């Protein structure tokens, strides 16, 4: 499927909004101070009950490139982001959370040469903050999906193309976050078209769309050590609230895994992996294991996951060092990581 558009801008910044009145003034001010001018800001409000819409409208009076879209019902983060992509009048999409900021007014100017290079994914570096305070992103011994994994904050690959892109994603060499990435709208729409059943998803929505985007993308440009994005994790955010709403976390991830399963079978790829989690085991064991924990035990969920590891010597040895077992395709086992891991 090919989408053809007449673009009014080069890039659209899409902000999903739900009760973000506390941060919107700073975030919108940061975006509107960019020296690069060929962009629009699309705020998609997901039925906020606070003053978010009023704040956005006040900025619109002096910012013709600022657009407000209001969902008719609460749809969750995934659908809200995608509604912004559908409305975008640009060649490229950048997802931007309402409590995040650029590091300087020249970020989009600095990235403009890559925006003009016709690459499908442009990936630059991030600073991580927790409650507006910077945190140290450390290199992780075990190459897993974790906020402590350095690969999430700073891309390690400068260029990739074709199927290599998705392989890098599977091995965590390309982060599954949408933040810090500029993505071709055609690729985003193609990927999102296979994820239309994901309604009211608030957990792991980044993983769902990036799995499909990296599958369909044909070119990737990483820009290591260019820290242009400040990702601010709040304690009361969906990601930050570790112990809350565990059942929703399980439900959302189950829906995402099933949607990816449908996507890959439609592509005649019945045998595939999702960050070392093999799908056939996922539905039977993974979700059962996760749901066995109560609402206050999400740390245990993170550390007790039924993994079906690829035949990779690095993973074999690492898991053996940590757990005393050698996982394989023929003998999947419960991997219990130490509490301090």
Same domain, yes or no: 151 and 300: no
**Per-residue confidence (pLDDT) for residue 13, from 0 to 100:** 98
End residue of a domain, out of 206, 233, 260: 233
**Distance of alpha carbon 287 from alpha carbon 283, whole angstroms:** 6
Long-range contacts made by residues 82-85, C-beta under 8 angstroms, separation at least 24?
82/192, 82/195, 82/209, 83/44, 84/12, 84/14, 84/15, 84/16, 84/42, 84/44, 85/12, 85/14, 85/185, 85/188, 85/189, 85/192
Q: Which helix (H) or strand (E) holds 232?
A: strand 219-233
Kindly report the average pLDDT of the chain as a whole number: 74
**Distance of alpha carbon 144 from alpha carbon 178, whole angstroms:** 17
SS3 category, 297: coil
Same domain, yes or no: 256 and 229: no
> Where in the sequence is the domain holding 319, given as residue range(s)?
246-336
Whether the Cβ atoms of residue 15 and residue 27 lie closer than 8 Å to each other: yes
- Is the pLDDT at 154 greater than 60? The verdict is yes
Same domain, yes or no: 225 and 264: no
By residue count, the chain amounts to: 341
Domain tally, the chain:
2
Q: Is the pTM of this model over 0.75?
A: no
Same domain, yes or no: 250 and 225: no
Measured CA to CA in angstroms, residue 187 lies from 157, 182, 259 at distances of 20, 11, 17
Residue 225 domain-assigned (yes or no) = yes
- Is the pLDDT at 275 greater than 50? The verdict is no
The one-character DSSP state at 14 is: E
**Per-residue confidence (pLDDT) for residue 340, from 0 to 100:** 36
Q: What is the 3-state secondary structure (H, E, C) of 260-287?
A: HHHHHHHCCCCCCEECCEEHHHHHHHHH
End residue of a domain, out of 202, 233, 264: 233
Residue 24 domain-assigned (yes or no) = yes
Q: pLDDT per residue over 186-221, tens digit each?
A: 999 999 888 877 777 777 788 889 989 999 999 999
Closest of 312, 226, 317 to residue 276, by C-alpha: 312
End residue of a domain, out of 233, 254, 274: 233
**Per-residue confidence (pLDDT) for residue 173, from 0 to 100:** 81
Q: Which residues pair with 227 in a beta bridge?
A: 125
Same domain, yes or no: 86 and 116: yes
State the Cα torsion 325-328-333-336 to the nearest 10°. Answer: 50
Q: Which residues pair with 223 in a beta bridge?
A: 124
The CATH number covering residue 140 comes to 3.90.550.10
Residues near 97 by beta carbon (within 8 Å), at least 6 away in sequence = 15, 16, 179, 231, 232
Same domain, yes or no: 268 and 205: no
What does the longest C-alpha to C-alpha distance in the chain come to? Answer: 62
**Per-residue confidence (pLDDT) for residue 139, from 0 to 100:** 39
Tokens of 116: 């003009």
Residues near 157 by beta carbon (within 8 Å), at least 6 away in sequence = 168, 173, 174, 220, 222
Q: pLDDT per residue over 38-93, tens digit each?
A: 999 999 999 999 999 999 999 999 999 999 999 999 998 889 999 999 999 999 99
Same domain, yes or no: 153 and 202: yes
């Amino acid at each position: 499927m090919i989408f053809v558009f007449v673009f009014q801008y080069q890039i659209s910044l899409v902000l999903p909004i739900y009760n973000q009145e506390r941060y919107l003034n700073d975030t919108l001010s940061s975006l509107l101070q960019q020296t690069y001018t060929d962009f629009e800001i699309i705020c998609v409000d997901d039925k906020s009950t606070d003053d978010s819409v009023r704040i956005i409208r006040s900025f619109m009076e002096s910012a013709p490139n600022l657009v407000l879209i209001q969902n008719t019902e609460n749809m969750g983060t995934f659908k809200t982001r995608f509604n912004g992509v559908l409305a975008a009048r640009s060649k490229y999409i950048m997802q931007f959370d309402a409590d995040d900021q650029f590091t300087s007014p020249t970020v989009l100017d600095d990235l403009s040469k890559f925006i003009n290079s016709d690459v499908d994914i442009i990936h630059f570096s991030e600073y991580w903050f927790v409650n507006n305070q910077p945190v140290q992103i450390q290199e992780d011994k075990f190459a897993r999906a974790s906020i402590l994994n350095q690969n999430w904050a700073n891309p390690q690959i400068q260029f990739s193309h074709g199927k290599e892109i998705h392989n890098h994603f599977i091995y965590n060499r390309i982060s599954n976050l949408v933040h810090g990435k500029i993505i071709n709208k055609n690729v985003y729409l193609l990927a999102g078209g296979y994820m239309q059943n994901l309604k009211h998803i608030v957990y792991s929505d980044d993983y769902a769309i990036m799995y499909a985007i990296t599958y369909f993308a044909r070119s990737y440009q990483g820009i290591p050590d260019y820290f242009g994005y400040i990702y601010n994790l709040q304690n009361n955010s969906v990601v930050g609230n570790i112990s809350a709403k565990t059942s929703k976390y399980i439900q959302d991830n189950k829906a995402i895994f099933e949607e990816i399963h449908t996507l890959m079978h439609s592509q005649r790829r019945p045998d595939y992996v999702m960050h070392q989690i093999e799908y056939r085991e996922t539905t039977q064991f993974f979700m059962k294991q996760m749901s066995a924990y109560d609402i206050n035990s999400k740390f245990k969920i993170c550390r007790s996951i039924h993994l079906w590891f690829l035949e990779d010597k690095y993973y074999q040895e690492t898991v053996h060092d940590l757990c005393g077992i050698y996982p394989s395709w023929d003998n999947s086992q419960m991997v219990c990581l130490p509490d301090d891991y």
